[in-house]
Amino acid sequence: MRFTEEQIRRYSRHIILPEVGGKGQERLLASRALLIGAGGLGSPAAYYLAAAGIGTLGIVDFDDVDLSNLQRQILHRTDDVGRPKVESAREALQALNPDVRVIPYKEQLTSANILELLAEHDVVVDGSDNFPTRYLVNDACVIAGKPNVYGSVFRFEGQVTVFQPGQGPCYRCLYPEPPPPGLVPSCQEAGVLGVLPGVIGLVQAIETVKVLLKIGEPLIGRLLTFDALGLRFRELKLRRDPACPLCGEAPTITQLIDYEEFCAVGP
C-alpha cells in the first residue's frame, strides 16, 4: 500500500522507529484485532490501538452504557448513557482515527459465534469480566490458534499476560477449573479503582502491537501483576501444564462446550 501525506504525518513517530518503520505501519493498518468488551479494559486498549492505526477493530459487547460505567470506561460519555456500548465506541474511535474500520458486534459471545469472529481477526484482546467468557475465549483461541492478550482487574489489582497457542500456557493451564459461583465477586460487587483498568488495558494494547509486529519480548509464559495501592509490578513465570485438558499432551477438550454450565452460573 502507499501512505497518503496525512498518514505519513499521522504515523511519523512510528515510521521513524526502526523496529516499526513504514513496513510495520503498513502491517498495523492491515491488521485486525478483536476486542472482547468495550468496558474498563477495552476502552483504553481500543483508544490506543485506534491511534496506532490498527486497521480493523472488531468490538464485541452486548451491553448499553450505564452511568456507573463512566468512572473507568473512557470510550463512553455522559450523553451515551443508554446507548449500545459498541455504538459509542465506534463513534469515539472513528473520531480519533478515520483510518480505522470499527466493526461493532452487539451480541453475546457464545460457542456458536466465536470461531467465526476469530477467523476474521489476527489477535484477541480479552477484556471480559466474567469466567464463562474467559474460558470461552481461551478455548476458542487455542482451537483457532490465535493469540489472546488477556487482562483482568479486581479492586486495586490487575493481571495481564499473553496466551500464544503452541508457545506458552493457556488460561486453563493456570486455572483448570472456574471458582465456585459466588466465591469471586464481580467489579459491581467488589468495586474497582477507576484508573486501574487504564494501566492494565494499556499493557494489553502494547502487547497487541508487539504481537502484530512480531517485535520485542511478549508476555508469553509470564503473568504481570499490578498492585495499585503498593504501586508494584511483579512478574510470575507461567508454565504450560502437560496435563492441561485443552493444550496439554492428551487433550480432552477438543471443541467448545457450554461455558455457562461449566461455570455453573446458568440455569
- In the complex, residue closest to Zn ion by CB: 244
Give the sign of the dihedral formed by CA 162, CA 163, CA 169, CA 171.
positive
Q: Which is nearer to Zn ion, 22 or 251 (CB)?
A: 251
Distance in Å, CB of 170 to Zn ion, minimum: 3
Q: Which is nearer to Zn ion, 87 or 126 (CB)?
A: 126
- Parallel, antiparallel, or unpaired: how do β-strands 157-163 and 148-154 relate? antiparallel
**Residue 247 interacts with Zn ion (CB under 5 A): yes or no:** yes
Task: Identify whether the C-beta of residue 225 lies closer than 8 Å to the C-beta of residue 234.
Answer: yes
Beta bridge partners of 227: 157, 232
Distance in Å, CB of 242 to Zn ion, minimum: 9
Contacts of 106 (CB under 8 A, 6+ apart): 61, 62, 84, 86, 87
Q: How many residues bind Zn ion (CB under 5 A)?
A: 6
**Residue 137 interacts with Zn ion (CB under 5 A): yes or no:** no
Contact track, Zn ion, 159-178, x by CB under 5 A: -----------x-xx-----
Among 65, 109, 140, 244, contact with Zn ion (rule: CB under 5 A): 244
Q: Which is nearer to Zn ion, 193 or 247 (CB)?
A: 247
Distance in Å, CB of 174 to Zn ion, minimum: 8
Q: Which is nearer to Zn ion, 29 or 173 (CB)?
A: 173
Cell of 193: 479503582
User: Rounded to an integer, what distance in angstroms lies between the CA atom of residue 17 and that of residue 25?
Assistant: 10
Q: Which is nearer to Zn ion, 41 or 170 (CB)?
A: 170
Distance in Å, CB of 90 to Zn ion, minimum: 34
Distance in Å, CB of 149 to Zn ion, minimum: 16
Radius of gyration of the chain (CA): 18
Q: What is the 3-state secondary structure (H, E, C) of 119-144?
A: HCCCEEEECCCCHHHHHHHHHHHHHH
Where does this chain bind Zn ion (CB under 5 A)? 170, 172-173, 244, 246-247
